[in-house]
Amino acid sequence: MNQIMQEIMEKTVLVFGVTGRQGGAAAVYLQKAGWKVRGVSRNPEKDKAKKMVAAGIEMVKGNLDDPETVKDAFSGVHGVFSVQNPWITGLKKEVEHGRRIVDLASDAGVKHLVYASAGTGDKSTGVPHFNTKAEIEESVKASGIPFTILRSASFMELMRDKDFLPPLVMWNVMPKIIGDEFPVIWISAHDVGAVTASVFNNPGEFAGKELQLAADKQSVKECREIYTSLYGNPPKRIPAPAWLFKLMQKDLYKMFLWMLQYKEPESIIEDTRKIYPEALTVEKW
């Protein structure tokens, strides 16, 4: 066993969102790489949490609303993976939770903080759930903790994960707003977990970096064609007018408009594959 591997095996990474998409995948890939993984869940009795425990992940019951319930989880950890979901908590709490993790990590002397962000890292987008992430990024950068920020493109999971209401959002409203043929950059949330493990494994390369992540570029039309060729039928659509979506989901509506004018770095896919060569295309995913 080489020295790096031996050092990793003695160290723990604390994973927030461990029962979710990015955190769950991060936990699995970190464990595969030899890290000890401790996760936080508000409900360790739920199936996903129990499965993780069965796979050898230590689970701590905690709620970021109350710092006292998560404080001890930081004890002795080398690294922390931080993710929030404003669609669960609301925007105000997203920022509160993100900053709470930074403060607790700082108090605990954490050596590497990986923050799962999105957007551009500044408040120029006008997209509320990107602004909140920009605020958290500011705290991460000001903390003095060696950090890595991951800014993911649209998740491929939007196409099939029920949480994202694909028949309404991905297959109906999104193309109405951005156009059926507009090229969208994609990454699987699962692959963000793999990238996270690479980042913790190589702090010399990734500490202090802000990484834009995408593994494919396909329009909604192309995604629909891929879906249809794989499943034999086009994806189900729930027809709803874009104006109604604009009224009910202002934040996502603004994000779709922002997508139309955002220019991602030209090498984003190539750069993501340098970190995780197996990152899936839409078709493979």
Ligand X SMILES: NC(=O)c1ccc[n+]([C@@H]2O[C@H](COP(=O)([O-])OP(=O)(O)OC[C@H]3O[C@@H](n4cnc5c(N)ncnc54)[C@H](OP(=O)(O)O)[C@@H]3O)[C@@H](O)[C@H]2O)c1
Q: Which residues in this chain contact ligand X in the complex, by CB under 6 A?
A: 16-23, 40-43, 63-65, 83-86, 88-89, 118, 129, 152, 154-155, 158, 189
Report in angstroms the alpha-carbon separations of 38 from 17, 61, 196, 220: 11, 11, 15, 37
Q: Which residue has the CB atom at the shortest distance from ligand X? A: 20
Residue reference for tokens 């936080």? 40
Question: Do residues 13 and 79 make contact, with C-beta atoms less than 8 angstroms apart?
Answer: yes
Question: Do residues 36 and 13 make contact, with C-beta atoms less than 8 angstroms apart?
Answer: yes
Closest separation between CB of residue 23 and ligand X, Å? 5
C-alpha angle 279-51-46 in degrees, rounded to nearest 5: 115
Please identify, using beta-carbon distances, which residue of 8 and 95 lies nearer to ligand X: 95
Please identify, using beta-carbon distances, which residue of 12 and 85 lies nearer to ligand X: 85
Closest separation between CB of residue 9 and ligand X, Å? 25
Please identify, using beta-carbon distances, which residue of 84 and 272 lies nearer to ligand X: 84
C-alpha angle 115-129-93 in degrees, rounded to nearest 5: 75
Please identify, using beta-carbon distances, which residue of 14 and 145 lies nearer to ligand X: 14
Closest separation between CB of residue 116 and ligand X, Å? 6
Closest separation between CB of residue 44 and ligand X, Å? 8
Please identify, using beta-carbon distances, which residue of 6 and 43 lies nearer to ligand X: 43
Report in angstroms the alpha-carbon separations of 166 from 67, 152, 232: 35, 19, 17
Closest separation between CB of residue 163 and ligand X, Å? 7
